[in-house]
Each structure stands twice: as C-alpha cells, then as structure tokens.
Amino acid sequence: MAIPDDEKNAIWKEIEQKSPDLIEAFLSIKNEDELKAFFRDLMSERDLREFAMRWEVAKKLDAGVPFSQIQEESGESPVTITKINRWLKEGCGGYKMMIDRLRGEEK
C-alpha cells in the first residue's frame, strides 16, 4: 500500500508551528564546517548515527544490494530496512533526489 501524500507531509505543519524558521536555518548553512557544527549541537550522537545509517541503507537499496546483505553489513533489522526501502520507493522523492544529485545525475 502506497504512503498517502497527507501522511508524507503531515509532519511539516507540526514542525512549522513548533519551529517556524528551522527550514530557513538549514538553508542558510554555508559550508561543511557550519553544517557539522549546527548538526552536532542540534542532534544527539544517536540521531547523527541514525541519519548516517538511513542514508547508507537507502544508497545500498537504490544500488540493488540485497536486503540480507544490507542487514549483515549494517546490523539493522529487516523492519528498519523495509521502512527505508518504502520511503525510498514511495516517499517524497528526497532520497532519490539526493542520490541522483551526488551521482551527478540531477534532473
């Protein structure tokens, strides 16, 4: 079953109410050092590790690496890998956009 559009984007109403300038803060980051400083202050080590893991799993899934190999290499549960795969395939297109951009295939 596909992820409904309202479910994909529902979080942004809440985020914009709680922190109206968060997106603006992200967009104002000028370089890698600023990004690292802001992310480190904003997030816990666990949050940063989680982001890194999701990104690596998404790239591997996009490259066609089998779930079992990803699970073995990452130590992540099949449930987590399945959720990342679902967002990669049916989400807002963010994973694919960034994967393509970093490959130089941006459209």
What's the burial of 48, exposed, middle or buried (CB within 10 Å: 0-12/13-18/19+)? Answer: middle
Per-residue pLDDT for 107 more than 60?
no
Report, in angstroms and rounded to the nearest whole number, the Rg of the chain calculated over CA atoms: 15
Cα 11 vs. chain centroid, distance in angstroms?
Answer: 14
Tell me the average pLDDT across 47-58.
97
- Residue 60 domain boundaries: 44-107
**Residue at 5 is within a domain:** no
**Residue at 101 is within a domain:** yes
- The pLDDT score that the predictor gives to residue 18 is 95
* Tally of domains in the chain: 1
Which pLDDT tens digit goes with each residue over 60-76? Answer: 999 999 999 999 999 99
**Residue at 84 is within a domain:** yes
Are the beta carbons of 88 and 5 closer than 8 angstroms? no
9 band by pLDDT with thresholds 50, 70 and 90: confident
**Residue at 87 is within a domain:** yes
**Residue at 54 is within a domain:** yes
**Residue at 19 is within a domain:** no
Q: Which two tokens stand for residue 77?
A: 């549960």
